Amino acid sequence: MTAFSDIPQTPSSHDGVPTALQLKLRRRARTSAAIRYTLLIVVGFIMIYPLLWLVGASFKTNQEIFASPWFWPEEPTFQGYVDGWKTSTPYTFATFFINSMQIVIPKVIGTAISCTLVAYGFARFDFPGKKVLFAILIATLLLPDVVTRIPQYLLFRELGWLDTYLPLFAPAWLAGDAFFVFMIIQFLRAIPREMEEAARVDGANTFQTLIYIVVPILTPAIVSVCLFQFMWTMNDFLGPLIYISTVEKYPVSLALKLSIDATEAFNWNSILAMTVLALTPSLVVFFMAQKSFIEGISTGGVKG
Amino acid sequence: MAELQLKSVEKTYGNGFKAVHGIDLEVGEGEFMVLVGPSGCAKSTTLRMIAGLETITGGEVRIGDQVVNDLVPGKRGIAMVFQNYALYPHMKVTRNLSFGLRLRREPKDKIARSTAEVSGVLEIEDLLDRLPKQLSGGQAQRVALGRALIKQPEVFLFDEPLSNLDAKLRASMRVRITDLHKRLRDEGRPATVVYVTHDQVEAMTMGDRICVMKDGHIMQVADPVTLYERPANAFVAGFIGMPEMNLVPAVLTRGEEAQITIDAQTITLPGVKARLSEVEGPVTFGVRPQHLEVTRPDAKDALTGTITNLEFMGHEVNLHARVGDANVVCVVPTDKFDTTLGRGDLVGLKPRASHVHLFDTQTGENISLPKSQ
Ligand SMILES: Nc1ncnc2c1ncn2[C@@H]1O[C@H](COP(=O)(O)OP(=O)(O)OP(=O)(O)O)[C@@H](O)[C@H]1O
Ligand SMILES: [Mg+2]
């Protein structure tokens, strides 16, 4: 049968032989589908080409990288990966990955816990000053990052946290990302309260209601939050650049830059190879959580 | 099991809106009490205060001999069934049923036994492994009922549990719930029930007693028969009964017998005088459509009106007539209906005097109730 399932299947006439009109309709439907898919494939290819080129080029030799714009390597080689992994420092890339994880994991966990708690409080309880506090929360959302950089730096310096990972993930434990709080609040607002009320009648206290009822229902939203936080933190360059000064503590994002600085003649293929590796965790996590993630950003509530 | 008492209970919402104006209500042990009233009359608010989901801003609520005002819902010995079922979407039916028991850390074998028993009673054994989204509305409501039943609470609270179901299912669920109530009573563990609905059929068929509410006030609490035959005021009279009771402005005069005048037509109501309080002058005259007899125009003690509409209902005909400025509805059994009548014809409508009611125009109070009551 046809590969495109959305082509309308016109019913054939009773004797099984399609009439002229049916043939015409079918041909027209097929032509329009062909055009549609061709267009989609072309645009899709253009958009994904830089990524394809990146992966392909990481297997090329340094000479070949600039020789041809085509992504397919002529003499595929792992040299880029081998050199890149070793780096020009005394440490291998494994160190940098572990460093990244030491930032990302506490940050993601802290974000999930603190943002859920804060959002639950705002969405479900009335307390004095709620309106003002919520306004402040939204205001921080609008505040450009740059504005807070210097005061934050001074604060963390006073605390003696420079050249540690604390400045990078401690704010996340205090629901520092207003955007995520806001996202979960919006999701919660769309969920009817009756389920929580039923749980309270069943004898659950506020905390049990949160753990047994709210969090499971919120899972898609929380997964989305974790995913965003994971990717943004993996990719964050400025934060580590400001606070981390010892090479041994560098996360992947800084380490990539390091390999550009340190070598006189850039080993482009090893840089590209490490870039590919740096992308992988985000991609893997994304594909693992894809189902929940799409549910989280698209429904924002419960089905009827 | 226990009785439930509300003593001048008030509710003022955070925005300053006073939804409940000091109501008193007693529900006896094992009694099925229905709260009924038009939308927005604070039925849900009252129920939610009993449940503890809404703070009580005045008065007190007692369950058994305990004032529960400051107890959390889980400690009040209640169970509640919600309009949209409110099943936990991520738990299978078994776990939905047993959630309360598991929170109480009851032993596993006891939980299993209770679950089996309840699912047997409600015929949901086949559904135990499903998620709520895999259930039909009727099935979901039975699970919700089971979740209430399994806790063996002192008081059951229902907030319009059947209003999301279609008419047929609603009728069968109605029977199921009343049967269950009787069964618990027979088994010697009577359940006190407060059941909110805006459907008067549900109210009349299910309630031992019915509490009619309006704008946060209780209008009357009585058993269905009393409510129908001796409504305490014009609101209850108009709210209970299908089609609605005819309520027509009239002037009452009292000679030998009570007489009322509607739009220059004066008719005598034999036997009514004895049950009247000492009032004369303008009143609201009330008579149910079933208690009007169609006669020829100008018959004695009949009001003359013009037919404006005829509705054929199957076993009966609703006759709409215009008497002066008022619309009057009359229900006639189909086999007694004079088929020569048509729109625009004149008819006589003779009220059955023993079933008419007179209401004070100002307060709406029924001034024609027998003295002994
Ligand atoms: N959270 C609230 N804040 C302010 N006013 C409220 C709140 N909840 C309900 N009300 C008001 O209180 C009144 C009673 O509401 P309630 O929900 O108890 O009515 P109801 O009798 O259950 O109506 P329905 O039959 O439509 O369910 C309504 O006028 C409503 O607008
Ligand atoms: Mg309601």
pLDDT digits (tens, 9 = 90+) for A77-132: 888 888 888 877 888 889 999 999 999 999 999 999 999 999 999 999 989 999 99
Is residue A1 pLDDT above 50, yes or no?
A: no
From CA B120, how far away is CA B125, in angstroms rounded?
Answer: 6
Share of residues in chain B with pLDDT > 70 (%): 99
Mean pLDDT within A258-282: 79
ipTM: 0.88
What does pLDDT average to over chain A?
86
Residue A8: band (very low, low, confident or very high) from pLDDT cuts 50, 70, 90 = low
| pLDDT reported for residue B207 | 95
* Residues of chain A positioned with their CB less than 8 A from the CB of B90: 216-217, 219
Smallest CA–CA distance, residue A217 to chain B, in Å, is: 7
Inter-chain residue contact A201 with B88, CB threshold 8 Å: no
Ligand 1 atom nearest B47 alpha carbon: 18
What does pLDDT average to over chain B?
93
Where are the domains positioned within chain B? 4-234, 239-360
Share of residues in chain A with pLDDT > 70 (%): 90
**To probe the interface with B, which of A127, A195, A201, A299 has the most B CB atoms within 10 Å?**
A201
Who among B14, B75, B80 is closest to A198 (CB)? B80
Q: Each residue of A57-80: pLDDT tens digit?
A: 888 887 787 777 788 888 888 888
User: pTM of the predicted model, to two decimals?
Assistant: 0.84
**Sign of the CA dihedral with B238 first, then B239, B241, and B244 last:** positive
**What domains appear along chain A, each with residue ranges and CATH number?**
20-81 (no CATH), 88-302 (1.10.3720.10)
Mean pLDDT within B46-67: 95
A291 or B253, higher pLDDT: B253
Mean pLDDT within B186-210: 94
- B149: closest chain A residue by CA: A202
The strands making up B66-67's β-sheet, listed across from edge to edge, are B18-27, B4-12, B58-63, B66-67
Instruction: Give residues with Cβ within 8 angstroms of B311, minimum separation 6.
Output: B317, B318, B320
* Residues of chain B positioned with their CB less than 8 A from the CB of A199: 88, 99
Smallest CA–CA distance, residue B160 to chain A, in Å, is: 13
The CATH number of B239-360 is 2.40.50.140
Chain B interface with A: residues with Cβ < 8 Å: 14, 51-53, 72-75, 78-80, 82-84, 86-90, 99-100, 103-104, 133, 147, 151
Inter-chain residue contact A204 with B103, CB threshold 8 Å: yes
| pLDDT reported for residue B127 | 95
Residue A303: band (very low, low, confident or very high) from pLDDT cuts 50, 70, 90 = very low
Residue B139: band (very low, low, confident or very high) from pLDDT cuts 50, 70, 90 = very high
- B147: closest chain A residue by CA: A202
Inter-chain residue contact B72 with A126, CB threshold 8 Å: no
| pLDDT reported for residue A38 | 94
Is residue A6 pLDDT above 50, yes or no?
A: yes
Q: Each residue of B83-94: pLDDT tens digit?
A: 999 999 999 999
Nearest 5°: phi and psi at B251? -115, 130
Is residue A297 pLDDT above 70, yes or no?
A: no
Inter-chain residue contact B87 with A200, CB threshold 8 Å: no
Inter-chain residue contact B86 with A302, CB threshold 8 Å: no
| pLDDT reported for residue B2 | 80
Query: Can you give chain A as a three-state secondary structure string?
Result: CCCCCCCCCCCCCCCCCCCHHHHHHHHHHHHHHHHHHHHHHHHHHHHHHHHHHHHHHCCCCHHHHCCCCCCCCCCCCCHHHHHHHHCCCCCCHHHHHHHHHHHHHHHHHHHHHHHHHHHHHHHHCCCCCHHHHHHHHHHHHHCCHHHHHHHHHHHHHHCCCCCCCHHHHHHHHCCCCHHHHHHHHHHHHCCCCHHHHHHHHCCCCHHHHHHHHHHHHHHHHHHHHHHHHHHHHHHCCHHHHHHCCCHHHCCHHHHHHHHHHHCCCCCHHHHHHHHHHHHHHHHHHHHHHHHHHHHHHHCCCCCC
| pLDDT reported for residue B280 | 86
Mean pLDDT within A263-279: 80
Is residue B372 pLDDT above 60, yes or no?
A: no
Mean pLDDT within B222-242: 94
| pLDDT reported for residue A73 | 81
Mean pLDDT within B265-276: 89
Smallest CA–CA distance, residue A295 to chain B, in Å, is: 15
Is residue B271 pLDDT above 90, yes or no?
A: no
Residue A17: band (very low, low, confident or very high) from pLDDT cuts 50, 70, 90 = confident
Is residue B373 pLDDT above 50, yes or no?
A: no
Ligand 1 atom nearest B43 alpha carbon: 21
Class of the B4-234 domain? alpha beta
